[in-house]
Amino acid sequence: MRFGSVFILITLNVLIVPAMGSDSQPIVVASGEWSKNNGGNGHFYEAVFAPDGITWGEARQISESQGGHLAAIESNKENEFVYRLIRRDSNRGSVLWYKDQHDNYIGPWLGGYQISGSTEPNGGWAWTPTGKPISFQNWAPNEPNNSGNENRIVYFNPFQWSDCPSGCIEGWITQPLWNDFPQNGRPKGYIIEYE
């Protein structure tokens, strides 16, 4: 008696995260082009996971060594496009976020920085590598606040104790908001932009 063979192909999108350790390398977990056909700028973005965390300076150096730069967000539409790559409630984006001691979620680095000597907390914000002043802003409520020499920008999902606006999941705002953050902090990722 002869039996036929049946093959079933299952495709999975799996993120393989290496064991934590001093030799852990950054891993691209999501990427996409914001095409001009869809109203974009034609730039390509990569969301990079750094298992051991990474400082803003380290992320900037790696981004530029690969021919890009830390993302410079210049419109609400660009902010939304990039945020879709790294959303905390997505399979690929969840590794880029961690919960801090205040129950807020800290996301990946962007290319924003505050020029030394600027008026605190709102003055002198610019984008690397050009130094172009930041015109579009999407700060979380009560940010920037320079709480602890915070002079760089990360994505941020703050916890709302009450009166959670639309866009909340179990008390956390899940919108593409920003926070000022210490340059030597160690978020779990960064966004590279290629022009």
Both tokens of residue 140?
A: 């979380």
Measure the CA–CA gap between 29 and 24, rounded to whole angstroms.
14
pLDDT, tens digit (0-9, with 9 covering 90-100), for 142-176: 999 998 889 999 999 876 555 555 555 555 556 79
Measure the CA–CA gap between 126 and 150, rounded to whole angstroms.
14
pLDDT at 167 (0 to 100): 53
pLDDT at 89 (0 to 100): 65
> Which CATH number describes the domain made up of 27-194?
3.10.100.10
pLDDT surpasses 50 at 140: yes
pLDDT at 158 (0 to 100): 75
Q: What is the mean pLDDT of the chain?
A: 84
What percentage of the chain has pLDDT greater than the value 70?
Answer: 77
Spatial neighbors of 183 by CB under 8 A, at least 6 apart, are 55, 56, 57, 113, 151, 152
pLDDT, tens digit (0-9, with 9 covering 90-100), for 39-66: 999 999 999 999 999 999 999 999 999 9
pLDDT surpasses 70 at 2: no
**H or E, element range at 60:** helix 56-65
Measure the CA–CA gap between 114 and 140, rounded to whole angstroms.
17
**H or E, element range at 194:** strand 189-194
Going by C-alpha positions, the residue among 60, 46, 176, 184 that lies closest to residue 128 is 60
pLDDT surpasses 80 at 92: no
Q: Which alpha helices (DSSP H) does 87-150 contain, by range? A: none
Measure the CA–CA gap between 133 and 59, rounded to whole angstroms.
20
pLDDT at 82 (0 to 100): 96
Measure the CA–CA gap between 126 and 48, rounded to whole angstroms.
22
pLDDT surpasses 70 at 12: no
pLDDT, tens digit (0-9, with 9 covering 90-100), for 19-44: 334 457 899 999 999 999 999 999 99
Q: How far is CA 68 from CA 23, 62, 105, in A?
A: 23, 9, 26
Break the chain into its structural domains and give their ranges: 27-194
pLDDT at 102 (0 to 100): 84
For residue 106, the cross-strand partners are 98, 156
Measure the CA–CA gap between 64 and 22, rounded to whole angstroms.
22
What percentage of the chain has pLDDT greater than the value 90?
Answer: 63
pLDDT, tens digit (0-9, with 9 covering 90-100), for 102-135: 888 899 999 999 999 999 999 999 999 999 999 9
* pTM for this entry: 0.83
Both tokens of residue 191?
A: 């966004």
Give the phi and the psi of residue 77 in degrees, each rounded to 5: -65, -40
Does a cis peptide bond (omega within 30 degrees of 0) precede residue 144? yes
